[in-house]
Structure formats: structure tokens, C-alpha cells
Amino acid sequence: MGINRDFKCIDLFPGNGDWTHCRAISHVGTPPHWIACSIAQQSRRSILVAQQTTTARGQYRGLILKSTLTKLSPHELIHNPVMFVVEIGTAVVIWLAIRAHGAATVRYDWLVAVILIFTLLFATFAEAYAEARGRAQADFLRRTKSFTKARLLDPSGATRLVDATELRRGDRVVIEVGDIIASDGRVINGVGSVDESAITGESAPVLKTRDDAVTGGTTLLSDRLIVEITVNPGETFMDRMIALVEGAKRQKTPNEIALSALLGVLTLIFVMVVVTLVPIARYYGPHATNTTTMIALLVCLVPTTIGSLLSAIGIAGMNRVSLVSVIAKSGRAVEAAGDIDTLILDKTGTITVGNRMATEFLPLPGIALEDLAEAAWLSSLADTTPEGRSVVELAQSIIGPRDLSLDLGEPVPFSAHTRMSGIDLTSGTKIRKGAVSAIRDLVENPAPELQEYADAVSSDGGTPLAVVRDTTLLGVIRLKDVVKSGLKERFSEFRAMGIRTVMATGDNAITASVIAAEAGVDDFIAEAKPEDKIALIQAEQAKGRLVAMTGDGTNDAPALAQADVGLAMNSGTMAAKEAGNMIDLESNPTKLLDVVMIGKQLLITRGALTTFSISNDVAKYFAIVPAMFAAVPALRVLRALNIMHLKTPHGAILSALIFNALIIPALIPFAIRGVRYRAESADRMLMRNIFNWGVLGVIVPFVGIWGIDHVLGLFGLA
């Protein structure tokens, strides 16, 4: 295990799971160490996870098999008209095979029946498999909770081991290295690195100190923490995540309903074609065909491929969204994301990094740089924001470190009403730092250079803050936010797909225009208020465009509800999360771009497999019908169309049926993972799908049926 030989672990894997007595003892008499115990704990936990994962795999196989068989019920399949027709045909063929006992065609009838049964099983398996993948996330979280223990800290200072489900708000727990944090809480003592990858997917550890929030299900990587639980059972982040996953409704989307209707019409057309063929064939010979053959022909011609995979594609789309830690409340939201025409993105945190940093002091004429730096330093001492800290650091790089133990004065916190903050020094001097317009109002005759400096900072994409001492303007602080890397390229891809991007920001128009140009968005709204976002959404929707946006505050809730796709942040208010139709568990607004891409992929996958399926059916028609009727003397002219030289009508039917069944599981990976796509316009995408998947759908059946026919011939079944 890599433990130093000076240490040994007592009761390395205690059977009762009580780790409070597990510790490494030094042979040389040094104080107890927890190094070996931590390794032992992590090893024990790994074994438990591995055992439960192995058990879970067996359970999921059983669940998939059970669901596959359950979905064969007519009550289930009636919602899928294509496969319902196949099930009816299968029942008729089985009945004919039973009646044909001893007849010459009994082997052929049973072969057809078995192939049709497998066709139905493959179809229901596709949906069952996709659903099982969706349940995996919630079940994994439950299994994690089931073996999580906590060291409950008693008022006396002693600890005892309890289940995570026993913790209540106000309880205090001790977290050691390697422990899974049992519930949501806040750190009241200690400093440590926490691995939050199980929740957020981010591998980089996060440093947690006093008053920082911690999430149940994460793991402490270093040091020791004392955490006060802030939620009761059922209210934790993990509980909410499980509820969101299980509460996501799988409803057919409008496009899916329309496609199902189209498939139903195609099925009806092929039923009429086959019914029409029966009297025509029997006119030329009483034994030209039989009921089993005609049912098999019907199954080969109806769009069973896309009919089998349609639900799986939609379910997999919701699953792919969850892989990026976004919970879609319904499949409609995922599909709507693929149809989005306009993206409304907040500047701060979405387009830019979000933490503006002080990069330069610009003193007015006659003001020394050191005077401006010292005033900026004093005005920012009580400012705990990243911007305020950056002002202090920049000032100290000019004036050097100062003694903070002295009573300098009374800090004045920032107010949205005054738009400034500062300090009232003990000497009576007042220093303020804030928006240029607010600081300018404090001075009777502001220097014209102030506005010039402010405009220069804004024109470069920065944010100007003015500094004043009593009534003397000192200068401007340049704050600069950084555009996230890679966004310009992604916005270019969206533009190629016909998606318009709009940046919303509270900055002035000059600053907004510079950042918009740097990021590559199509338009922007400066000095935006919540009502401005709603007005923009309504204006876009009035033009027939679908709109997506992100939000986290109660003031964003109306706009999230109005948008076709509203991505709410999990860290946001309950009103915002209820208004949105998606929730980002990582609270990363940039995730909206990933959601749109996944929605596009869902639509492209559905279109590609539909094109392949219909092309398949047309190809199978021209491959099978000539072989079926070429033996009829009056229809020998069809022999010229039997380009694959299929040996017998029965062989042609069996080959086509087997191909029809096997193509379903062959395409399940495409339905689950999605088809690869490029960022391009809808017209180009359509033409590419028709060419790639349409041509493939014509060629593959000819090759597949020909190969299967030859294999059947080797076994004397053709």
C-alpha cells in the first residue's frame, strides 16, 4: 500500500465500519498519525464502491431485460404504431405456424416468427437500454449515500459514528482526510482541499476555509475540517439532484409527434401496398405467395428502424444533457435547445471570466501616482470583493505594504443607491471610490480630463472607477474583465448555424460594444435591466424565433419562464429554478452553449436515422419484390430486376427479415451517443444528411441482404 515501514495500521478494515478507532501507531513513540488510516479508509471505500458497482451492473442487466420484456405488452407498443403493426403481424405468423404443424411450410413459418420476435425484442431493448442509462445517475447517488458515515461531534468534544441520514441541521461533524462529506454544511473550523468532481465534474480540488459551504458527496483530500450541517435529510444537494433526475418527464416533443404521425402514414401506405399485392400475385398463380410471406414483406417495408429507435434518441438526448451536469425537466427543453435561433447571454461570468481586476491607475493632471494609489488603497481596505482585493494589491505594488493594525477610520460599504464605497478617516478626511458619474456629482467643477480618462478606459473594454478625496478628484482606476478563451470560435459556429447571439450587460454602451466585438457576439444590450431581457425575448419570439437564456436570481424568473429554453443556475433562487426548464448543477452559465450543441445533435441524429430508415425501406422493396415474384411464369420479366440474384422467394424474405432485425441493434450506439455533426446552416446539414445517410441507407440493404442470403444458402435455409 505504500505506507512507511515505521507505521502499521491497527484493524485496517474493521468489519463494523467504525473508523474512529483506526489509526497508525509509530514504533518510535511519536504521536498518533492518521496517514495509514486515511489510505485504509480510501481503500475500504474503493472496495465498497467496486462491490456495489459490480452488483449494480447485474441489477441493471436484470432491469434492462425486465423492461425489454415488459415493453412487449400491446398496452405499451400501441403508442408506437410501427412496432404495434409488427407485433400484430408476429402474433398472426405464430398462429399460422402452430396451425401449419406437419405442413411443408412449417419450418419457414417458424423461422419468420422467430425473426419477428427478435425484431420486437431489439426494438424494446433500445428504449429500455436508454432509460436504464438515465436511471444510473440517481441510483449511483443513492448508493453513495447508503454507505456514507459521519463523525458526529458531541457537545463534550467526543465523536461517534452515525449514518449520513441521521444528521440534522445544526449538527457538527468532523471530516478527516479521505472522508466523504456526509451532508451539506459550512466550515466552522479548519482549512482543507475538497474534491468536488463527484458533483461538479471538475477534477481540480477546491480550497475550503471558515464559513465556506461544502456539499454532501464530495471528498476531503487534505487536512481536517469541522462542519456544521445546514440542511435536514431530504433537503441536501444530493437529494435535490436525485429528485430532479427522477422528476424529469419523458414527454414526446412536437417534432417527435409529427415524425410518429409520418411513420404511421408510411406504415398505412405499405399495408395498402402489401394488401394490393396479394390479389395481383394470386391472379398469376394460386401459390405465388402466402400470408406469412406477405406479413414478412410488410415488416420489411414499414420503417421499423426509426420506429424502434425514436424513443431511444429522445431519452438519450436527455441523458447526454445530464452528462454535462444539466438536468432537463422534460425532453421538450432539450429539443427546443436544438431549434434555438437566439441566445441571450449575460456578460459577467458567461462571456467574461467575471472577476474584474484593477490593472492601472490613471492620475489626473497635477496628482501624483502615489497619492492616487494610497487613496485607492484606503478606500478598498474593507472591500472584500475580487475587484476590491485587486485594487489593494495594485496599490501596494506602488506604495508598498502598510501597517493595518492602526485605526484608520470607519469603512463605508458599497451601496447600490450611492454606487460608491470608501472610508471616513479619523482625521476627518473622506475618500470615496465608485462609478464615474456618482463621483463626479460630489465635485462642483470636475476636471474635463476625468471624462476623457473614463471614455478611454471604456473604449478599451475596461470599467472606470473614479477616486475622490473630500472634493478633490484624484484619478481613475482601470478595471478589466477578460473574455473567456474559445468563445469567439464557438460564436462563429453558432453564426454558421444561423443562431444569433446577444450579450446583456449592465455596463455602459461603450464598454459593452468593445467586449461584444472582442467576444464576437452579434448584438448587445447595454445597461440592461431584467425587464429589458423580457422585452427582447418577446420581440424575438414575435418574429418566430426561439430564444434561450440563463439566469439565477428572482428578477430573472420572468425572463426564464418566457424563454423557450431557460437554464437556471442551481446556486440561484428557488423562483429562478422553478421558472427555468433546465437546471445547471454546476451553476456555470456558459453551459448554455453545450446544451444548444446537444440539442442540435439530437435533432441531427433523429434526422439522419430517419433518412437512413426510409432509404432502407425503399431499397428493401426493390431488393425483395423482384426475387419474390420472379418465379411466377407471367412475371418472369422481374428476373432482370433481381440484381442480387437471390436464390428463392423464401430466401429473399428470410434474408431481408434478418437484415431488418440486425440493423436495429447496429444503430443503437448512434441513437445513444448521437451522430457526429458540423457547425453549418440547416440547408447544408439537410443535404449532408440526405447524401451521407440516404445513400448509405440504399447501399447497405443490398449488400447486407445479399450476404445473408449466401450464408442461409450454406445452411440450406435459402
Residue 30 has pLDDT above 80, yes or no: no
Average pLDDT over residues 602-607: 90
433 is in an annotated binding site: yes
Choosing from 346, 507, 564, 617, the catalytic residue is 346
Residue 26 has pLDDT above 50, yes or no: no
Q: Which of 265-274, 351-360, 641-650 has the highest mean pLDDT?
A: 265-274
What letter does residue 445 receive in the DSSP assignment? Answer: S
Residue 259 has pLDDT above 80, yes or no: yes
Please report the pLDDT score of residue 5 as a whole number: 32
CA 675 to chain centre: 16
Per residue in 371-420, pLDDT tens? 999 999 999 888 877 788 889 989 999 998 876 655 688 888 877 677 88
287 is in an annotated binding site: no
Please report the pLDDT score of residue 144 as a whole number: 63
pLDDT band at 369 (very low <50, low <70, confident <90, very high): very high
Per residue in 241-251, pLDDT tens? 666 666 555 56
27 is in an annotated binding site: no
Alpha-carbon span 143 to 217, nearest angstrom:
11
Average pLDDT over residues 34-57: 46
Alpha-carbon span 470 to 303, nearest angstrom:
80
399's grid cell: 506604495
Please report the pLDDT score of residue 203 as a whole number: 58
Per residue in 308-328, pLDDT tens? 998 888 888 888 887 787 888
Task: Name the CATH superfamily, with its identifier, for domain 357-480.
Answer: Calcium-transporting ATPase, cytoplasmic domain N (3.40.1110.10)
pLDDT > 90 in the chain, percent:
27
Residue 609 has pLDDT above 90, yes or no: yes
Please report the pLDDT score of residue 617 as a whole number: 86
pLDDT band at 618 (very low <50, low <70, confident <90, very high): confident
7 is in an annotated binding site: no
Residue 359 Cα distances to 303, 368, 372, 462, 480, angstroms = 63, 17, 14, 9, 7
Please report the pLDDT score of residue 142 as a whole number: 66
Please report the pLDDT score of residue 632 as a whole number: 65
Domain ranges of the chain: 79-131+247-318+600-714, 324-351+485-597, 357-480
Please report the pLDDT score of residue 145 as a whole number: 63
Please report the pLDDT score of residue 700 as a whole number: 92
Please report the pLDDT score of residue 91 as a whole number: 95
Average pLDDT over residues 664-685: 85
Residue 340 Cα distances to 284, 316, 541, 596, angstroms = 56, 19, 11, 7
212 counts as catalytic: no
Average pLDDT over residues 479-508: 85
Per residue in 184-230, pLDDT tens? 899 999 988 888 776 655 556 788 888 888 888 888 988 889 999 99
Q: Which residues pair with 65 in a beta bridge?
A: none
Quote the mean pLDDT of the chain. 81
Average pLDDT over residues 322-345: 84
Alpha-carbon span 532 to 504, nearest angstrom:
9
Please report the pLDDT score of residue 377 as a whole number: 92
Q: Which of 425-439, 506-520, 654-668 has the lowest mean pLDDT?
A: 506-520
Average pLDDT over residues 28-44: 40
416 is in an annotated binding site: yes
Which of 636-672 are b and which e, b meaning 16 or more Cβ less than 10 Å from the residue's Cβ? eeeeeebebebbbbbbbbbbbbbbbbbbbbebbebbb
pTM: 0.68
Given a contact cutoff of 8 angstroms between Cβ atoms, the answer to whether 408 and 378 are in contact is: yes
524 is in an annotated binding site: no
Please report the pLDDT score of residue 289 as a whole number: 66
Alpha-carbon span 595 to 248, nearest angstrom:
16
Please report the pLDDT score of residue 114 as a whole number: 96
Residue 430 has pLDDT above 80, yes or no: yes
CATH topology of domain 324-351+485-597: Rossmann fold (3.40.50)
420 is in an annotated binding site: yes
171 is in an annotated binding site: no
57 is in an annotated binding site: no
383 is in an annotated binding site: yes
Residue 13 has pLDDT above 70, yes or no: no
**Residue with the three cell numbers 434492462:** 64
Per residue in 96-111, pLDDT tens? 999 877 676 788 899 9
Given a contact cutoff of 8 angstroms between Cβ atoms, the answer to whether 305 and 613 are in contact is: yes
Q: Which of 37-51, 413-427, 640-654, 683-697 has the lowest mean pLDDT?
A: 37-51
Please report the pLDDT score of residue 56 as a whole number: 53
75 is in an annotated binding site: no
Average pLDDT over residues 23-37: 37
More confident residue, 531 or 74: 74
Euclidean distance between the first and final Cα of the chain, in Å?
62
Residue 514 Cα distances to 38, 70, 133, 458, angstroms = 52, 59, 45, 8
Q: How many helices (H) and strands (E) does the chain have?
A: 23, 24
Residue 41 has pLDDT above 70, yes or no: no
Work out the widest C-alpha separation in the chain, in whole angstroms: 116
